[in-house]
Amino acid sequence: MISSNIEDYLETIYLFIKKNDRPIRTTELAQLLNINPSAITSMAKKLHSKEYILYEPYIGIRLTEKGKEVAKKIIRKHKIIESFLRDYLKLDEKKASEEACKIEHVISDETITKLYNYMNESKKSKI
């Protein structure tokens, strides 16, 4: 099992690279996560040793395929949960996103699949 801390790093790295089409520097990641840059370097080394990222000092951080898969999975969970909270429970956008950030780390793959299927079936029955 991957810690929520690692998931947050991988998700943030993925979204930055997708948006900017380049590796993320440790200082940029520190700003986005609101963490001390030295802690970022330490975590980058850990993520590199676990083969989630490619870390090159002074160049930046890129995700490996393994890291991308974890990040995509977390982002998918976040989107499904956020959509449910916003569209079904009528939470405002900000609250739905905040709550999804918390839930995405503890919800099982089985439950997220069932939630996704429920939402799709619910949409079909409204037509």
Residue ranges of domains in the chain, CATH in brackets: 4-68 (1.10.10.10), 72-125 (1.10.60.10)
Q: Which are the contacts of 36, defined by CB distance < 8 A and separation ≥ 6? A: 30
Please tell me the predicted confidence (pLDDT) of residue 2: 87
- Which residue's structure tokens are 């890129």? 62
Please tell me the predicted confidence (pLDDT) of residue 122: 83
Please tell me the predicted confidence (pLDDT) of residue 58: 85
What is the reported pTM?
0.87
Using alpha carbons, select from 4, 53, 8 the residue that is nearest to residue 30.
8
Distance CA(117)–CA(107), nearest Å, equals 15
Give the residues of the chain that fall short of pLDDT 50: none
Q: What are phi and psi of 107, to 5 degrees?
A: -80, 140
**CB distance 68 to 31 below 8 Å:** no
